[in-house]
Amino acid sequence: MTTIHPVILCGGSGTRLWPVSSAALPKPFLPLVSDETLFEQAVRRVAQDDRFAPPMVVAGAAHADMIIQQLHDAPGARLVIEPGAKNTAPAIALAAALLPADAVMLVCPSDHHIADAAAFRAAAFAAAELARDDYLVSFGIAPDRPETGYGYLQRGEALAQGFAIRRFVEKPELARAQEYLASGEYSWNGGIFAFRAGHLLAELAAHRPDMARLVAQAVAGGRNDGARFYPAPAPFAAIAGESIDYAVMENTARAAMVPAAMGWSDIGSWAALADALTDGADAAGNVTRGAADLDGCSGVLAITDSLRISAVGLTDVCIIVSGGEVLVTTREGAQRVGKLPGATNQ
Amino acid sequence: MTTIHPVILCGGSGTRLWPVSSAALPKPFLPLVSDETLFEQAVRRVAQDDRFAPPMVVAGAAHADMIIQQLHDAPGARLVIEPGAKNTAPAIALAAALLPADAVMLVCPSDHHIADAAAFRAAAFAAAELARDDYLVSFGIAPDRPETGYGYLQRGEALAQGFAIRRFVEKPELARAQEYLASGEYSWNGGIFAFRAGHLLAELAAHRPDMARLVAQAVAGGRNDGARFYPAPAPFAAIAGESIDYAVMENTARAAMVPAAMGWSDIGSWAALADALTDGADAAGNVTRGAADLDGCSGVLAITDSLRISAVGLTDVCIIVSGGEVLVTTREGAQRVGKLPGATNQ
């Protein structure tokens, strides 16, 4: 049985969930879908099974104390403090360099929602088997709509525990997304990965030698402080930030995927959150948090931390009152919330 | 030349403009369309021409001080304090009983907006001529849409200064309202009237003898206090409240109307206010008051007295932040705002 080493990434600013999320309190650390925060859920998903080692969390210094608090009692957990935000490839490489070379790591974003934790774990165990055989494994999320906001994976030949990846596809136009959905060959690239640590570093050295060298220097020059590890800032600052997809996954000959149907959402906008909350919706599909009176509304998400919301006649609108701001957006418009003056001038 | 005695009515609760209007600060006393309140505008419309006598204002005791304040310098103005809210017929009859029998009175609601004051005055002078000839005269507002929220007047034979009224029509269904608009024979009943005071009282005595008697008793037993007149409470309380339309206009053989195209609105809902504010709208028809950032919106009314409003992708929605409440309504839904818990449980 392969032990899985969870690596939980806490980057990302989440401005599309403004005004609730902010630079100081970004999306992972908010109780968006339940009473637990998305980070707490991410930790708990890999905490209830002894096939998982204690988690390693990679985050910025600004959120370290919040992470310690939200880890609660997680013996053996480690925290890697990134000296700067460099996208996912350097963060994952830091973790890989701090693990034994033969450790199988499971890279999990901390700001996603997964409704079916058992399905997640089953996919993780399948991915771990592939990773042990030196595949670089991505979770392929079963799509349920022609989403244009995600990248896609096309399945190739069948492997013992999954499939080879034939190709990676950037966020498509709607017509293309509809073709992908109809074909049954495509999955969403959910940003969840399994690697053998040493293999990931070898592939990084092959495809991004500068990054691999600078990460190694940052780790070699870093220091431990209790459960925290501080990489050396100078070499880390010299890294050209890049996603793990660009840096490694799209270049390797060993890309594989495991299918995962687990009620996944990246909670990438208020519309996505509304979708994730449909279990708590009324008969007309409305979801409220805090004081809200709705009359003749359907598909409305109304969340307030203070003033009462009264809404009449609205369809598919999100109303958010938080932190002294009032946001009202259509579901379609929700993707543009991060560009609002309020979200960009925090 | 007939001198016109303006009678300005300040009844009505205006709950459909909640949360800005309230029982304590109802619609007439709010600066909704301009820097002036609707009441101040109503007073000023009849103050800039020496054919108008000083106004007589009929209102409840709760609003008396506010009215004195908003009358500013209006020499000769009188204030009739209604002991209770009894709809328009008793209010108008009180004023009629306090005026000379041959005075021509012009009854004006204080919570309407009239964009073209000169057109209003021209219609008032025409109505006054008809009233002097003992017609009971209603302003017939030229309709510009098949409105289902107003009563209609059907024109009859032509008179010197206007038309006889063939019939009064209750708020119609949409199909009927469209017929009325297409026919060109119908006007909105705007609730603006001209009467000779003695004639109005005689008609009231003929059609509502109990009301006429009780009003006469309330006036006979009333008392003056400076510019204020307090009718006797007991007889006034015994009156069965009724509108002037039901009590008199629909029963008299002398109903007449003057056509009035004057940019009239009853500001009866947030949608109506949005329509009245189109002069200040941006190219997409949005109107904002206070801090508001709109992205991809059209026909949006955004008003805030405190928190910034950010809105994305909305069409024909009103967002009102006022008095610690947040209201979001479609234009269609605006008619139902008065039924919201926040509006009814003030």
Q: Which among A293, A314, A324 has the least Cβ separation from residue B330?
A: A314
Distance between CA atoms of residues A339 and A294, nearest Å:
28
- Scored b (16 or more CB within 10 A) or e, A182-203 reads eeeebbbbbbbbbbbbbbbbeb
Q: What pLDDT score was predicted for residue B346?
A: 66
Nearest CA in chain B to A324: B307
Residues A93-115: what's their mean pLDDT?
Answer: 97
C-beta of residue B278 within 8 angstroms of C-beta of residue B286: no
Q: Does B330 reach chain A within 8 Å, measured CB to CB?
A: yes
E-strand ranges in B54-185 read 56-60, 78-82, 104-109, 113-114, 136-141, 152-158, 163-169
Q: Does A34 reach chain B within 8 Å, measured CB to CB?
A: no
State which residues form the domain around B297. Answer: 270-344
> CA of B143 to nearest chain A CA: how many angstroms apart?
26
**Domain end marker among B230, B265, B300:** B265
For residue B290 the two structure tokens come to 């206070």
C-beta of residue A123 within 8 angstroms of C-beta of residue A147: no
Q: Are residues B283 and B232 in the same domain?
A: no
Q: What pLDDT score was predicted for residue A346?
A: 66
Closest CA to B301 of B282, B113, A317: B282
Distance between CA atoms of residues B62 and B20, nearest Å:
18
**Domain end marker among A226, A249, A265:** A265
Return all residues near B149 (Cβ < 8 A) that are at least 6 apart.
Answer: B171, B268, B335
Q: Are residues A261 and A294 in the same domain?
A: no
| CB-based contacts of B143-148 (< 8 A; 24+ apart in sequence) | B143/B180, B143/B181, B143/B186, B143/B187, B143/B188, B145/B181, B146/B174, B146/B177, B146/B178, B146/B180, B146/B181, B147/B177, B147/B188, B148/B172, B148/B173, B148/B174, B148/B177
Q: Are residues B207 and B301 in the same domain?
A: no
Q: Are residues B311 and B248 in the same domain?
A: no
Q: For A141-159, write each residue's pLDDT tens digit.
A: 999 999 998 999 999 999 9
Q: What pLDDT score was predicted for residue B185?
A: 96
Distance between CA atoms of residues B68 and B57, nearest Å:
10
Q: Which among B296, B304, B326 has the least Cβ separation from residue A310?
A: B326
Q: For A121-135, write each residue's pLDDT tens digit.
A: 999 999 999 999 999
Q: Are residues A183 and A260 in the same domain?
A: yes
Q: A220: domain CATH number?
A: 3.90.550.10
For a pLDDT cut of 70, what percent of chain B falls above it?
99
Residue B138: beta bridge partners? B193, B257
Q: Choose, out of A318, A326, A327, A345, the residue to mutate when testing the contact with B (most B CBs < 10 Å).
A: A326
C-beta of residue B328 within 8 angstroms of C-beta of residue B307: no
pLDDT in tens, chain B (346 residues): 789 999 999 986 678 899 999 888 899 999 999 899 999 999 999 997 899 999 999 999 999 999 999 999 888 999 999 999 999 999 999 999 999 999 999 999 999 999 999 999 999 999 999 999 999 999 999 999 999 889 999 999 999 899 999 999 999 999 999 999 999 999 999 999 999 999 999 999 999 999 999 999 999 999 999 999 999 999 999 999 999 999 999 999 999 999 999 999 999 999 999 999 988 899 999 999 999 999 999 999 999 999 999 999 999 999 999 999 999 999 999 999 999 999 987 6
> CA of B85 to nearest chain A CA: how many angstroms apart?
28
Phi and psi of B326, rounded to 5°? Answer: -120, 120
> CA of A146 to nearest chain B CA: how many angstroms apart?
21
Q: Are residues B290 and B245 in the same domain?
A: no
CB contact under 8 A, A333 and B307: no
Chain centroid offset of residue A239 CA: 22
In the three-class reduction of DSSP (H, G, I as helix; E, B as strand; rest coil), residue A165 is classed as strand
Nearest CA in chain B to A295: B340
Q: Are residues B18 and B151 in the same domain?
A: yes
Q: Are residues A180 and A236 in the same domain?
A: yes
Q: Are residues A21 and A146 in the same domain?
A: yes
Which residues in chain B have their CB less than 8 angstroms from residue A334's CB?
A: 312
Which residues in chain A have their CB less than 8 angstroms from residue B291's CB?
A: none
For a pLDDT cut of 70, what percent of chain A falls above it?
99
C-beta of residue B203 within 8 angstroms of C-beta of residue B285: no
CB contact under 8 A, A327 and B311: yes
For residue A274 the two structure tokens come to 């509304």
Residues A53-64: what's their mean pLDDT?
Answer: 96
> CA of A345 to nearest chain B CA: how many angstroms apart?
13
- Scored b (16 or more CB within 10 A) or e, B160-185 reads ebbbbbeebbeebeeebbeebeeeee
Q: Does A325 reach chain B within 8 Å, measured CB to CB?
A: yes
> CA of A93 to nearest chain B CA: how many angstroms apart?
39
> CA of B309 to nearest chain A CA: how many angstroms apart?
5
Phi and psi of B4, rounded to 5°? Answer: -105, 130
Q: Are residues B25 and B153 in the same domain?
A: yes
Look at residue A1 and tell me whether its pLDDT is greater than 80.
Answer: no
Residues A53-75: what's their mean pLDDT?
Answer: 94
> CA of B343 to nearest chain A CA: how many angstroms apart?
10
Q: β-pairing, B4-9 with B136-141? A: unpaired
Q: β-pairing, B4-9 with A325-330? A: unpaired
- Scored b (16 or more CB within 10 A) or e, B80-96 reads bbbbeebbbbbbbbbbb
Domain count, chain B: 2
Q: How many A×B Cβ pairs under 8 Å?
A: 118
> CA of A287 to nearest chain B CA: how many angstroms apart?
15
- Scored b (16 or more CB within 10 A) or e, A98-134 reads bbeeebbbbbbbbbbbbeebebbbebbbbbbbbbbeb
Q: Which among B311, B325, B332 has the least Cβ separation from residue A329?
A: B311
Report the complex ipTM.
0.87
CB contact under 8 A, A312 and B328: yes
Distance between CA atoms of residues B81 and B57, nearest Å:
8
Q: What pLDDT score was predicted for residue B270?
A: 95
Which residues in chain B have their CB less than 8 angstroms from residue A295's CB?
A: 333, 336, 339-340
**Domain end marker among B265, B300, B328:** B265
Which residues in chain B have their CB less than 8 angstroms from residue A341's CB?
A: 293, 310
Which residues in chain B have their CB less than 8 angstroms from residue A324's CB?
A: 307-308
Distances (CA, A) of B227 to B80, B101, B108, B204: 9, 20, 19, 26
Nearest CA in chain A to B306: A324
CA torsion sign for B141, B143, B148, B152 is: positive
Q: Are residues A97 and A51 in the same domain?
A: yes
Q: Does A87 reach chain B within 8 Å, measured CB to CB?
A: no
Distance between CA atoms of residues B278 and B265, nearest Å:
12
Q: Does B314 reach chain A within 8 Å, measured CB to CB?
A: yes
For residue A327 the two structure tokens come to 């946001």
Backbone torsion region of residue B84, taken as left when φ is above 0, otherwise alpha when ψ lies between -120 and 50, otherwise beta: beta
Q: What pLDDT score was predicted for residue A176?
A: 96
Q: Which among A309, A313, A321 has the least Cβ separation from residue B333?
A: A313
Distance between CA atoms of residues B330 and B270, nearest Å:
9
Q: Does B328 reach chain A within 8 Å, measured CB to CB?
A: yes
Q: Does B75 reach chain A within 8 Å, measured CB to CB?
A: no
Closest CA to B104 of B200, B245, B206, B192: B200
Distance between CA atoms of residues A219 and A202, nearest Å:
16
Q: Is B341 exposed, middle or buried (0-12, 13-18, 19+ CB in 10 A)?
A: exposed
Apex B105 CA angle, B104 and B106, nearest 5: 125
Nearest CA in chain A to B18: A310
Look at residue A294 and tell me whether its pLDDT is greater than 90.
Answer: yes
Q: For A162-185, write each residue's pLDDT tens digit.
A: 999 999 999 999 999 999 999 999
Q: Are residues B284 and B319 in the same domain?
A: yes
Look at residue A193 and tell me whether its pLDDT is greater than 70.
Answer: yes
CB contact under 8 A, A342 and B308: yes
